[in-house]
Amino acid sequence: MTPVSMTPIALSDITLGGEFGRRVNQIIDANILKIDLDATFLNEFRNRGEGGYLGFGKFIDACVRLAASTKNPQLLAMKKKLIADLIATQDADGYIGTVARPEMRIKALWDLHENAYIIYALVSDFEFNHEAASLKAGEKMADYMLGLFGKDPAIRPDTLGGVVTFWGSNLGFDRALIALSRATKNPKYRDFAINFLKIKEYGPEIHTGPSGLANHAYTYMGHTLAQLDLYRENPDVNLLRAAHSAVDFMRKHNGMLITGSCSEAECWHDTQSGLQKTAETCMSAYLARIMDAMLQIEGASLYGDIMERDIYNALFSATSPEGDKSRYFTPFEGKRRYDDNGNRFCCANNNKRFLADLPGWIYYRTADGIAVNLYNESSLKIDLASNLSLQLEQHTDYPTEGNVGITVRPSRAARFTVRLRIPRWCKQATVAVNNEPRQPAKSGEFHIIDRAWNPGDTIQLRMPMQFRFIRGRASQVGRAAILRGPVLFTLNPQRNPDFAAHPDFSPRELMFHPDEIQPAAPDASVRPNGIAATINAWTPGHHQFWPHIPRKPLTLTEYPDAGGQNIYFLVPNPESPKLEDDELVAPGV
């Protein structure tokens, strides 16, 4: 099947329910609306000093997008006041920021990075909410920054003795300028990103080893995303090389974790270790954005598969169950902790931006119709043609089960195509339209339904879900993890007191038997309508050499469980046919 490129659908055209909607509403009500914005962000812009990173632009961008999609009246009012208060701090020359001394602007580390995202957020407010004042302020601010470079082309931020690269310190500036050029139709901003920032030339080798911004995964993904923004305006295949290299490294060289994320201590790694500073939230969020961009450009379902795994595991686990806190890293071995920076800095606000973008990753336009990429209770209403509108409603409890019902309501009878992403984890999917016989749907592709549609036609997608035992790689060889659909399962010791109370208890030393897993059981401890996996395991200090030792039920919960401490377990036979290779990893790896 030849992939088809896709285009995004406006957030305002999508209505969100289900688990996605619950999490979006939760981050608004339990987090954003409770933040003291003056103390957390604004006072630093009013009372400037030596500078310092806050992540305010990312926070504003999240609020802009969440307000556009949810139309929450409190959030809309807060967003409007927040941006007005920020613009009120803008100098006559255009500067908005936290650095008091003009001679230190850009030179102060992270001033350029902070201001890049403020420009981007102001452009977003114009694009999503039609706020002309925001665009004017963003343009004025960009002109000020470009003017500083014009006066001194050699000006650079402090690099802390070379630890920080220029690419790291200007992260986001290229995307902001490309977005500003698009909104203002002024090519000078795009030209600066190309000719001065050299965005077309970005493409460092991916390597692992000691941490440092030369090996910084988030920097790599941020500038790669800018290249993909540029590609959609000017399709130069060279702009895809960095993205292809990242996907190749993740799939063929152990660069992607089973959680769907990657990175350790913010950097590329290939050990499959899940300790301490694993899976930076910024990296997880930008990986999902790269997959979205590549799905738009190339239309391959693989990008949706990686996105889905990343969302349900790495990204959902980056938020507390109550929605009030975020994580900087989310290790899968050992205890997880919340970000000491609270709502400041990158990760907390990139996490909010991810949730703001989430509705836009469910559906895409195609040249001949619509594509469904993610499965979640939702609806959309769009114009397919000048005289044809379409309302589509998705009903499902996914990922609890793999049954999805879609009601198709064109404004009149019309022929168009509906594409359904069939995940690689599902080998037995079937699709039926109305009461017609079920048809098999091939795993790892978009299933195409090309027909004349009448208002009220229905699609029934069935994706049977079984527990899968995935072989560990690299440092996890000899172990296995459990997934069901896109969801990974973790051990929370508090849910297993019989094991945790044993003096020899060590999560990494537990051994279970793949033949002895029970059917999925309802469990609302992680999310409403969630499930748990129960499997018999040897008690600590015993293993398969003591077959007469009775095994006890071990309860594993969905990966976002805040108390989760381990996902890989010993198995009696690592070569057992019950174990599978990860379907997202390239064959033979």
Question: How do residues 307-359 score in pLDDT, each as one tens digit?
Answer: 999 999 999 999 999 999 999 999 999 999 999 999 999 999 999 999 999 99
Mean pLDDT, all residues of the chain:
95
How far lies 38's CA from each of 34, 42, 72, 85, 507, in Å? 12, 5, 21, 9, 44
Q: pLDDT tens-digit profile of 501-541?
A: 988 898 988 999 899 999 999 999 999 999 999 999 988 77
Predicted confidence at residue 547, as pLDDT, reads: 61
Contact 215, 268 (CB under 8 A): yes
Q: Is 10 a domain residue? A: no
Burial class (CB in 10 A: 0-12, 13-18, 19+), 403: middle
Q: Which has the closest alpha carbon to 362: 373, 377, 378?
A: 373
- Which of 197, 224, 256 delimits the end of a domain? 197
What mean pLDDT is predicted for residues 402-415?
98
Identify the band that residue 210 occupies on the pLDDT scale cut at 50, 70 and 90.
low
474 Cβ partners below 8 Å, 6+ apart? 254, 270, 271, 272, 273
Q: Is 8 a domain residue? A: no
- Which of 361, 384, 412 delimits the end of a domain? 361
Identify the band that residue 19 occupies on the pLDDT scale cut at 50, 70 and 90.
very high
What mean pLDDT is predicted for residues 109-132?
97
CATH number of the domain that residue 405 is part of: 2.60.40
Question: Which structural domain, as residue segments, surrounds residue 173?
Answer: 15-197
Q: Per-residue pLDDT for 163 more than 90?
A: no
Q: Are residues 31 and 123 in the same domain?
A: yes
Identify the band that residue 20 occupies on the pLDDT scale cut at 50, 70 and 90.
very high
Q: Are residues 139 and 37 in the same domain?
A: yes
Q: Per-residue pLDDT for 589 more than 60?
A: no
Q: Are residues 398 and 521 in the same domain?
A: no
Q: Is 356 a domain residue? A: yes
Contact 279, 330 (CB under 8 A): yes
Predicted confidence at residue 483, as pLDDT, reads: 98
Q: Is 9 a domain residue? A: no
Element (H, E) at 365: strand 363-366
What mean pLDDT is predicted for residues 488-510?
93
Q: Is the backbone peptide bond immediately before 399 cis, with ω within 30 degrees of 0?
A: yes
Q: Is 7 a domain residue? A: no
Predicted confidence at residue 305, as pLDDT, reads: 98
Tokens of 445: 């592709």
What mean pLDDT is predicted for residues 206-233?
89
What mean pLDDT is predicted for residues 534-554?
79
204 C-beta neighbours (distance < 10 Å), count: 15
Q: Is 586 a domain residue? A: no
Percent of the chain with pLDDT over 70: 97
Q: pLDDT tens-digit profile of 249-273?
A: 999 999 999 999 999 989 999 999 9
Q: Per-residue pLDDT for 545 more than 70?
A: no
Burial class (CB in 10 A: 0-12, 13-18, 19+), 513: middle
Q: Are residues 154 and 254 in the same domain?
A: no
Q: Are residues 170 and 296 in the same domain?
A: no
What mean pLDDT is predicted for residues 467-488?
97
Q: Are residues 193 and 215 in the same domain?
A: no
DSSP characters over 253-298: SS-S-TTS---BTTB---S---BSSBSBHHHHHHHHHHHHHHHHHH
Number of domains making up the chain: 4
Q: Is 488 a domain residue? A: yes
34 C-beta neighbours (distance < 10 Å), count: 10
What mean pLDDT is predicted for residues 365-381?
97
What mean pLDDT is predicted for residues 540-544?
68
Q: Are residues 485 and 429 in the same domain?
A: no
Q: pLDDT tens-digit profile of 454-475?
A: 999 999 999 999 999 999 999 9
What mean pLDDT is predicted for residues 230-234?
95
Predicted confidence at residue 504, as pLDDT, reads: 85
Q: Is 145 a domain residue? A: yes
Identify the band that residue 1 occupies on the pLDDT scale cut at 50, 70 and 90.
low
- Which of 166, 197, 228 delimits the end of a domain? 197
Q: Are residues 172 and 120 in the same domain?
A: yes
Q: Are residues 397 and 514 in the same domain?
A: no
CA-CA distance, 146 to 509, in Å (whole number)? 57
Q: Are residues 181 and 250 in the same domain?
A: no
Q: Per-residue pLDDT for 207 more than 90?
A: no
Q: Which has the closest alpha carbon to 114: 134, 136, 86?
A: 86
Q: Are residues 169 and 48 in the same domain?
A: yes
Q: pLDDT tens-digit profile of 426-454?
A: 999 999 999 899 999 999 999 999 999 99
Identify the band that residue 2 occupies on the pLDDT scale cut at 50, 70 and 90.
low
Contact 563, 493 (CB under 8 A): yes
Tokens 């307000």 appear where? Answer: 67
In the chain, what's the furthest Cα-to-Cα distance? Answer: 81
Q: Are residues 41 and 153 in the same domain?
A: yes
What mean pLDDT is predicted for residues 275-279?
91
What mean pLDDT is predicted for residues 565-587?
93
Predicted confidence at residue 541, as pLDDT, reads: 72
